Structure 1
Amino acid sequence: MSDEHPTTPPRLPAKAPGRTATGARKASAKSARSRSREFALQALYQHMVGGNDVDAIDRFTRDLAGFHKADSVHYDALLHGCIEQAAALDALIVPLLDRKLAEISPIEHAVMWIGAWEFQHAADVPWRVVLNECIELAKEFGGTDGHKYVNAVLNGLAPQLRPTEVEADKASGKARG
């Protein structure tokens, strides 16, 4: 029998700051804008799947736990902007799909709406931030590999909707070309 006694507990692998052990973002690490995207995604899903009235969806969503931590102005812009411009957003997305739009999960579809809308209307959010936020939404709420599909589609849209910004990042080496 050995007399050796460990003096310190074994080290667990370090996880990234702001992440849970599974890699998901911790709720406390989410910005108000990230939260607004999450609530907008939930509301857009209700609209797509349930066909519910946007005002009823909005009232319901604002009553959800944690909404007070969201950027309500950005949430409003996303919810109403995506619904009002649904046909135009779909027209941007469809050419980049490898299947019919009806075959896309409503979660991934709504995330693509959010990304396309932000590329067009939220110039204060860098295109890479829009892309990363949408990938995180798809990872958190979508199917197993849905985030890869969202990434491919939004990466295809970015040069079309944010050409100057994407080219500047390519020239600086910040984006793959």
Structure 2
Amino acid sequence: MSARTKARKRALDMLFQADVMNTSVMDVVADEAKRAVGEPDRVASWLYAREIVDGVNDHREEIDELIASYAQGWTIERMPNVDRAILRIASWEMLHNPEVPAPVAINEAVALAKEYSTDDSGRFVNGVLGKIAEHAAS
């Protein structure tokens, strides 16, 4: 598993935790930063996970508006917490990280959805992110 794949999982954990516990993302990041000090072999994944979470936090309004507009029949609040976090991560990568091609962001997000969410989540995440990728390319 690549460092970026591990970082996406770590970012998912942080965003999910903040969402479920209804706490600040920055508080969760601070707790994870303390843990990361004791894990020098995971520095690469920690740095990118932090970049993702900071980026999602900084651009949350824009990202959520796009997700809501392309998730037909689903409000942000009604989505499963895991799906919401996955969509935010991949949306940030497609919109704000030119190093990550849209197909890579989508494939990684679909893999996370299939592993950590419902049976239908992979297809749902793929559909929403495909539309966001089209939007980002225009």
Which TM-score band applies after superposition, normalised by the shorter structure?
A: 0.7 to 0.9
Asked whether 1:48 is paired with 2:22, we answer no
Q: Which has the higher contact order (CA 8 A, sep 6+)?
A: 2
- Note the 1:6-155 alignment, pairs <5 A: 30-62=1-33, 63=35, 68=42, 70-97=44-71, 98-155=73-130
Greater C-alpha radius of gyration:
1
1:124 match: secondary structure: coil
Q: More displaced, 125-134 or 60-69?
A: 60-69
1:101 match: secondary structure: coil
> How much does 1:128 deviate?
0.6
Structure 1's 69 and 148: CA in aligned 2 closer, same or farther, altered over 3 A? farther
The aligned length equals 134
Q: Is the 8 Å Cα contact of residues 39 and 61 (structure 1) preserved in structure 2? A: no
Structure 1's 69 and 137: CA in aligned 2 closer, same or farther, altered over 3 A? farther
Higher helix share: 2
> How much does 1:70 deviate?
4.5
Q: Is the 8 Å Cα contact of residues 10 and 46 (structure 2) preserved in structure 1? A: no
Runs of 4+ residues over 6 Å off in structure 1: 64-67
Structure 2 unaligned regions, length at least 5: none
Q: More displaced, 55-64 or 123-132?
A: 55-64
> How much does 1:69 deviate?
6.0
Structure 1 unaligned regions, length at least 5: 1-29, 164-177
TM-score (norm 1): 0.69
Identity %: 26
Distance in structure 1 (CA, Å) of the matches to 2:44 and 2:81: 22
Q: Which amino acid aligns with 1:149?
A: F
> How much does 1:54 deviate?
2.8
What RMSD in Å do the two structures reach over aligned CA positions?
A: 2.0
TM-score (norm 2): 0.87
Distance in structure 2 (CA, Å) of the matches to 1:53 and 1:155: 29
Q: Which amino acid aligns with 2:60?
A: A
